[in-house]
Chain A
């Protein structure tokens, strides 16, 4: 981020801001009555029975909560930036865990099925996403070059393709390919149908990303290469594409992450991927939240790994330029 040379005082260390914040937090906790929760029970020595404590109890509970909240913020504000980030992440994660805990989950149930979720569900999800990513990237390179060419046919076909596949919901494409192709005599099973739909849809988005990346290289680069006697194919491969890759990488990484999660749409075809198993495994025992939350954590973990890989690739290309 942009680093300013003028360092201002932290807002939290200004008394006016601190008081304003405290009042706002107090009002928030007072508005959402927390008296009948675990906090009310905890403060029962002061306010007596939480149910009968009335406005006084409600005020005491919200006052204590807001003091804890503001003190926590103040304490964090004195730490170094990296430590601050770590602590805030950790605290938000704890809040998420508390949210999950409130569902009264049965951990032994998750334990008995997580093996299957990973060995079958996660494997299929990664398999489908990985194959789709490779095909989509290939489509995108061809599509971008076609969209930039002077050939009327190539441009028309590529722009029709991007327009159509960006214009239809992915779920609709999944159904069209799965149900439509057999009517034409091409019997395509569920997994190839799903891969085809994901590749075509994301290929269309990535075509536009690649095209924009190539176009963002100044015209002077083309002209200079021409002046040195390069042919256009060679210019694209050796001069333009290497320069556009740092521009293409961040949005492409976003597409990969989005595709990983959109691969859950192929569960409608009965493919045993992560989302499908999350929906079905809890069914016999009517424990749906357990499996859904487990799948949520697996998707999240996968996304974090992809984000880290993306950051690494970005750093690599930044060093080069």
Chain B
């Protein structure tokens, strides 16, 4: 990450603020800024392999990162990444610190109060995992137990029983945990899980590719039962700086990437199963 003082965007942020008083922001402010600046600022997580992480060379890498680079390329601008904490992204009010989030965000009713979701680009299942020595054998066995997950995630909402996904397939709450341990960095849950069943938590819920990645890295964990639910994952933009032109452009690019199989290719590249076969998560189940 290069070091820059952030004042160059302040004038446009003030303009946007003034415009938003009394009327919705003028169409195209953010998109014009991206074009003029020749740079798309993308917020994504740096702690969530294989979706997005920092590689040995100090660059962002992963499925989300490849999708984001492709979007910037098709817009004809450079891609730049910024890595705020997940709850900072989902709480909205970006104030043009960054332009879009390409971070596998599930559209929910509560998030849509502060964010726009211009395009769903893939779908992943979420699942529970337990320590290989865990006595729990069914999802119902987790009722009343301690389950760990990422703070402000859809998995946390699922555990709390208030998951309000938009345009998602029907699901049921199969687990009612006794305690929910929410960590800012959800991957730290697995470090607790590997200490043993019931030591710091009894189970963890996360996205299937992430858990598979942990298993491949030699973590003593195993999937428990069927997938808990399927979630659509979308690009997000800021409602505070509402820009229909940017949203339309993103929707157009994602549709194009679906049509020419770019998304499928990327999904096959990043999401492997234990037996080495690939997953195409870009089609709705």
Contact = CB atoms under 8 A, between A and B. Distances in A.
A124 B53 CA distance: 19
B144 interface: no
B5 A189 contact: yes
A187 B97 contact: yes
B217 A285 contact: yes
A113 B56 contact: yes
Contact of B6 (A189, A277, A279): A189
A124 B4 CA distance: 12
Which of A179, A182, A284 has its CB near the most chain B CB atoms (within 10 A)? A284
Contacts of A124: 1, 3
Contacts of B55: 284
Contacts of B50: 284
Contact of B47 (A179, A182, A280, A285): A280
Interface stretch (B8-16, B67-75, B127-135, B261-269): B8-16
Contact of A270 (B7, B13, B46, B218): B46
Given A124-B3, A272-B83, A187 B54 contact: no
Contact of A277 (B5, B54, B57): B54
A185 B13 CA distance: 7
A280 B13 contact: no
A182 B54 contact: no
A192 interface: yes
Contact of B84 (A182, A187, A270, A285): A270
B78 to A, nearest CB: 18
Interface residues of A, number: 33
B95 A182 contact: yes
A191 B185 CA distance: 21
Contacts of A183: 93, 95
B147 interface: no
A270 B80 CA distance: 14
A55 B85 CA distance: 53
Interface string B14-56: 1001000000000000000000000000000011111001111
A188 interface: yes
A134 interface: no
B276 interface: no
A112 B46 CA distance: 18
B56 A187 contact: no
A70 interface: no
Contacts of A272: 1, 54, 83
Interface residues of B, number: 41
Contacts of A113: 56
A187 B10 contact: yes
A242 B4 CA distance: 37
B96 interface: yes
A272 B50 CA distance: 19
A190 interface: yes
A319 to B, nearest CB: 39
Given A113-B56, A116-B58, A286-B219, A187 B47 contact: no
A315 interface: no
Contacts of B188: 288
A277 B54 CA distance: 9
Contact of B93 (A182, A271, A281, A286): A182
A300 interface: no
A288 B97 contact: no
A115 to B, nearest CB: 9
A32 B53 CA distance: 42
A316 interface: no
Contacts of B106: none
B191 to A, nearest CB: 6
Interface string B77-112: 000001111001000010111000000000000000
Interface in A241-285: 268-272, 276-277, 279-281, 283-285
A127 B3 contact: yes
A119 B1 CA distance: 11
Contact of B1 (A271, A281, A288): A271
A312 interface: no
A267 to B, nearest CB: 9
B155 to A, nearest CB: 17
Contacts of A226: none
B67 to A, nearest CB: 18
Interface string A85-116: 00000000000000000000000000011001
A270 B83 contact: yes
Given A185-B13, A187-B96, A270 B85 contact: yes
17 contacts: A116-B56, A116-B57, A120-B58, A179-B88, A182-B95, A187-B9, A187-B10, A189-B4, A268-B85, A269-B84, A269-B85, A279-B47, A280-B47, A284-B50, A284-B53, A284-B55, A288-B191
Given A179-B88, A286-B219, 8 more contacts: A119-B58, A185-B10, A189-B5, A190-B82, A280-B46, A283-B53, A288-B188, A288-B191
Interface of A: 112-113, 116, 119-120, 124, 127, 179, 182-183, 185-192, 268-272, 276-277, 279-281, 283-286, 288
Sorted from nearest, which 7 A-B pairs have the closest CB atoms?
A: A189-B6, A182-B95, A284-B49, A270-B83, A187-B13, A187-B10, A270-B84
